[in-house]
Amino acid sequence: QGAIAFKDLHFHYDPERPILKGVSFEVPAGKTVAVVGPSGAGKSTISRLLYRFYDVQKGSITIDGQDVRDVTQKSLRAAIGMVPQDTVLFNDTIAYNIRYGRPGASDAEIEQAAEVAQISHFIKDLPDGFDTKVGERGLKLSGGEKQRVAIARTVLKAPPILILDEATSALDTTTEHEIQSALDIVSKNRTTLVIAHRLSTVVGADEIIVLKGGEIAERGSHSELLAQD
Ligand code: ADP
Ligand code: ADP
């Protein structure tokens, strides 16, 4: 469930400057496909098009054969979970922040999700002092802890489709490995689109798409791409 087909995507923010120039690939249901490439290649734009922050100017995106333009915004956003690079949290308890993933969830379900993300010990805490509007006060939660809250939120939401947009790129190496293994658990058997800078962070993907200048430069498994270098 949740097979995604990107067909001949064309997109520009500014007509003078095309960002995607005919990009086609598929994410089979339950599989993980990673899009890697240099900064500015148009990787995040693909995830924004899937989420319909913007619409393609030519080409199409379908989920299980249905064009995303024919799906209501509400059901599209219910079907897709996103773990972004930098998670912004509400200045309320961590449990409240997790519940945001599915407002109707019970306390037991929130505790379960927190357990998967290994943050059970602080779900009742008020994340005092991390209000992003007063950044000078400094963050109480580390980047890795914030990503764990985002993961718990996604576990609770349990969407068929997952977007991991540079989800570990802001973390130090040790934390990155920890969060990566939590993400591997969450993305198992879910249709997952991973956006990443580096090939080394997407070893487990079923297919890797290398995007350069708005076009697919190479594609294959991690070992196939390494062999070409
Ligand atoms: P990547 O994720 O590969 O780093 P993006 O998809 O974020 O690349 O961006 C591709 C290009 O589009 C970049 O050059 C970026 O500056 C530009 N861009 C991204 N978002 C916008 C926007 N909202 N308006 C104008 N240009 C944008
Ligand atoms: P990230 O790649 O970390 O997700 P963004 O996608 O927000 O970051 O932005 C990627 C690039 O696109 C950045 O260089 C940013 O300055 C540029 N960009 C983002 N939004 C806009 C916008 N609305 N107008 C112009 N440039 C933008």
Q: Which residues contact 24 (CB under 8 A, 6 or more apart)?
A: 6, 7, 8, 9, 59, 216
Q: Is 13 in the pocket of ligand 1 (CB under 6 A)?
A: yes
- The residue whose CB lies within 8 Å of the most ligand 2 atoms, and thus the one to mutate among 44, 48, 171, 211, is 44
Check pLDDT > 50 for residue 122.
yes
Q: Is 43 in the pocket of ligand 1 (CB under 6 A)?
A: yes
Closest approach atom of ligand 1 to CA 41 = 3
With tokens 């890697």, the residue in question is 36
Closest approach atom of ligand 2 to CA 43 = 2
Pocket of ligand 2 (CB under 6 A): 44, 85
- Taking CA atoms only, the protein residue closest to ligand 2 atom 12 is 40
DSSP 77-117: HHHEEEE-SS----SS-HHHHHHTT-TT--HHHHHHHHHHT
Prediction ipTM score: 0.65
Q: Which ligand is nearest to the CA of 197?
A: 1
Region of poorest pLDDT, from 29-33, 134-138, 196-200? 134-138
User: 143-157 and 107-116 are packed helices; what angle lies between their axes, rounded to 10 degrees?
Assistant: 130
Each residue's pLDDT tens digit, 148-185: 999 999 999 999 999 999 888 888 888 888 888 889 88
- Taking CA atoms only, the protein residue closest to ligand 2 atom 22 is 13
For the segment 126-148, the average pLDDT, to the nearest whole number, is 63
- Taking CA atoms only, the protein residue closest to ligand 1 atom 26 is 13
Each residue's pLDDT tens digit, 45-102: 999 999 999 999 999 999 999 999 999 999 999 999 999 888 888 888 899 999 999 9
Question: What is the spatial distance between Cα 53 and Cα 155, in angstroms, rounded to a whole number?
Answer: 23
Each residue's pLDDT tens digit, 6-48: 999 999 999 999 999 999 999 999 999 999 999 999 999 999 9
Q: Which ligand is nearest to the CA of 17?
A: 1
